[in-house]
A and B are shown apart, each in its own frame.
Chain A
Amino acid sequence: MKRIYLDYASTTPVRTEVVEVMKTAYLSIKQTADIDSVSTLLKQTIKGHEKDQIFYMGSGSEANQSALMSLTKSSQLKKGKVLLSAIEHPSVRRAQSIYEDMGYEVVFIPSDSKGLVDLEAFYSLYDSSVVWVSVMLVNNEIGSRQPVEAIGAFLENTDTFFHVDAIQALGKITIDNTAIKADAMSFSAHKIYGPKGLGILYLKHTIKWVPLVPEATLNTPYILGFGEALRLIEHEKEAERPRLMALKKQMIEGLVALDLGITPVGDCSSEIGIVTLMFENRSSDALLIQYDFKGIALSAGSACSSGAISASPVLLAMGLDEKSAKSCIRFSIGHYTTTSDIEVVLETTKSLLKK
């Protein structure tokens, strides 16, 4: 049975071209210049300043947490309030207790029912004691694009640092930091067909970086693999985006048209191949297993390593009740998804739900 993978938001297969670059890198020793060119490519991609800084680490989750930690270590961050959006990835949301142990007060910015950070709430939560704000660019469950430009503009002439988790956005939509005005951004290689185990942190050149673990040797093959993955996805982006959007439309409209109680959750209008669908009166765990039996790999919310399905905190933050949240499944498409895959998904869904 050919398996159909619709969980690209969790992780992506490594592309052959990337594997080739990594193979070559493993067989040579000195490539400092090559690493610099990857950093330059990333800065150009997000319209950063040429003096801005790029740091490589073990995961996107690490990148999400280490920015605040590094600034604390170097005393650039005063003690005060940290605002995190309520729909951040767990690596940001669940850092709450770590930040609190470090002496910060953590406050969550609520989300509206569409899965968009509530700007009015943000403005009213903000005061001069806020030292740090973290809001993601694209939500990993809903695919909703957050109003980060408004937040960046609001924070521009303040002392508050602005961090943007851009892990789900890189390579898929345009990221323009001259408009977002983030001080820090995080990325992950394995969401763009690069290797797992590489997170990337971008910091504005005005910020001093103190490594949390000094003297670490860089993982050159991973970094060069990431560079190749980024080059490919950026090169193909303009052609790939309309193709993926057509597939997303085919999938959502097709599933809704089955008239079996399936509805998209929140704002699914973004140009990101992620959508969460609610299956009326069904439980997502049993459905996921049934899809898996039929060869379709999906995910309910942010897939933790255990694969266990609790009600998604993101969906709860959007105002869904526990039962509704546990009837939702995330579908995410990517480079290898085809029209016929979507047709199989529609057929399979029909046969599963009509039983």
Chain B
Amino acid sequence: MERNNRVIVGMSGGVDSTVAAFKLKEMGYDVIGVNMRLWQDDFLEEEHFMKDGGCCSLSSVEDARRVCEKIGIPFYALDFKGVFKEKVVDYFIDAYHEGETPNPCIACNKYVKFEALLEKAHELGAYYVATGHYAKILFDESLSRYVIKKSNAERKDQTYALYNLTQEQIKHILMPLGDFESKEEVRAIAAELDVQMSRKSDSQEICFVPDQDYVGFLKRNSDINVPKGQFVDSEGEVLGEHQGIIHYTVGQRKGLGMTFGKPMYVIDIDKNTGEVVLGSNEEVHSKELFADLVNFIPFDHLTEPYTCTAKVRYSAKEAACTLYPEDNGVRVVFEVPQRAVTPGQAVVFYKDDYLVGGGTIRRNR
């Protein structure tokens, strides 16, 4: 499609997407606000229906509509329930049953925001999709590629969940909040707009499990029986009984339901034997990992060892490492062992302020 200045902005009704839309309009773009209706499970949908008394008066939709009116842009709500259920929720459920800890936000960005929404944008004649992510998209002439740079509002950096984007996707994405120096600056603009916005917390909670009870969610939404199993130590010694593998994640210390006389952490989950392996603080650290489903942004493939930094989860600190290309993925060797390297989570690579890429951490290659 030919480049034009029409842009679809995913609006949650919150501060970030509101300011993103406002800024794009000021920059002269032809901005259309869209609220993405996503799947929630029947239990929560019904609870919401009883509470709000409407057939679909989700409050975020009304907040988004209100801010679009204030900014002076058209607003539409669009249904993405089907693709969200299939690509994000089902993946989330399956991963837990595989003994992994999924990152649904990454799947949502890849398949929903920057694939399904982008397709819809093109249908509506828009070349671009924009979001309220704190990240910068630049075109690097020397590489002839689009690259993603961390935002100056370091604390709010959200490049972690963007490592999976392809050049074809990035080409069509605008992230106007990347140029802000701080979240405070964004809040100040929002305050000037003088319109009620939703006050969703910045926490990393999963949007389709708002009560944070993901175990309850998994039980409601899957027929798979999760048998109880055994806690074992790294020698295979049985330490006690656990509630079923979906209750645990690597690195977990609290909520094991028993005490051991010294701090014990989940260091591995074996879905075949149903065992949850516990170990000491030392054992929950790993010096290397293998990741597959790898994507790189400044280049297509890794052909030789590459020195950079990496984060093993969103909240982790970047650590120095070397990437080694392998069949179907990369081996990541850290200078200092990393805590709670968790299968299913993303490992994301950086070089200075640039997002290099990332992949999904696996137990074995």
Which residues of A does B touch, CB under 8 Å? 90-91, 94, 97, 283, 285-286, 288-290, 292-293, 302, 304-310, 322, 326
Contacts and interface: CB of A to CB of B under 8 A. Distances in A.
Contacts of A94: 49, 55
A306 B62 CA distance: 7
A309 B79 contact: yes
A66 to B, nearest CB: 13
A306 B120 contact: no
Contacts of A326: 79
Interface in B20-35: 32, 35
A283 B58 CA distance: 22
Contact of A308 (B37, B50, B123): B37
Contact of A285 (B49, B61, B74, B76): B76
Nearest to B52: A305
B79 A305 contact: no
B195 interface: no
A7 to B, nearest CB: 14
Nearest to A302: B55
A293 B58 CA distance: 25
B358 to A, nearest CB: 32
B124 A286 contact: yes
B81 A310 contact: yes
Contacts of A304: 54-57
Contacts of B61: 306-308
A308 B78 contact: yes
A286 B123 contact: yes
Contacts of B81: 310
B336 to A, nearest CB: 48
B72 interface: no
A310 B79 CA distance: 6
- Nearest first, the 4 A-B pairs at minimum CB distance are A308-B77, A306-B61, A304-B56, A286-B123
Given A97-B46, A285-B76, A310-B79, A305 B124 contact: no
B82 interface: yes
Given A94-B49, A306-B58, A308-B61, 19 more contacts: A97-B50, A285-B78, A285-B120, A286-B120, A292-B74, A304-B54, A304-B55, A306-B35, A306-B37, A306-B56, A306-B61, A306-B62, A306-B65, A308-B35, A308-B58, A308-B77, A309-B77, A310-B79, A310-B81
B42 to A, nearest CB: 10
B123 to A, nearest CB: 4
A283 B50 CA distance: 30
B124 A289 contact: yes
Nearest to A311: B79
11 contacts: A91-B55, A97-B50, A288-B76, A289-B32, A289-B124, A305-B56, A306-B58, A307-B65, A308-B77, A309-B77, A309-B78
A306 B57 contact: yes
A302 B54 CA distance: 12
B49 A307 contact: no
B55 A307 contact: no
Nearest to A326: B79
A305 B76 contact: no
A310 B58 CA distance: 13
B49 A289 contact: no
B66 to A, nearest CB: 12
Contacts of A308: 35, 37, 56, 58, 61, 77-79
Contacts of A286: 120, 123-124
Contacts of B58: 306, 308
A310 B46 CA distance: 16
B123 A305 contact: no
A288 B34 CA distance: 13
B38 to A, nearest CB: 10
Contacts of A90: 55
B123 A283 contact: yes
Given A306-B61, A306-B62, A322-B82, A289 B54 contact: no
A94 B55 CA distance: 8
A312 to B, nearest CB: 11
A326 B82 CA distance: 11
Interface centre among A97, A304, A307, A308 (most CB of B within 10 A): A308
Contacts of B37: 306, 308, 310
Contacts of A285: 76, 78-79, 120
Interface centre among B35, B54, B55, B76 (most CB of A within 10 A): B55
Contacts of A288: 76
A286 B76 CA distance: 10
Nearest to B34: A289
Contacts of B78: 285, 308-309
A102 to B, nearest CB: 13
Interface centre among A289, A306, A322, A326 (most CB of B within 10 A): A306
A304 B61 CA distance: 11
A123 B58 CA distance: 38
Contact of A305 (B35, B46, B49, B57): B57
Interface in B67-93: 74, 76-79, 81-82
A292 B32 CA distance: 12
Contacts of A97: 46, 49-50
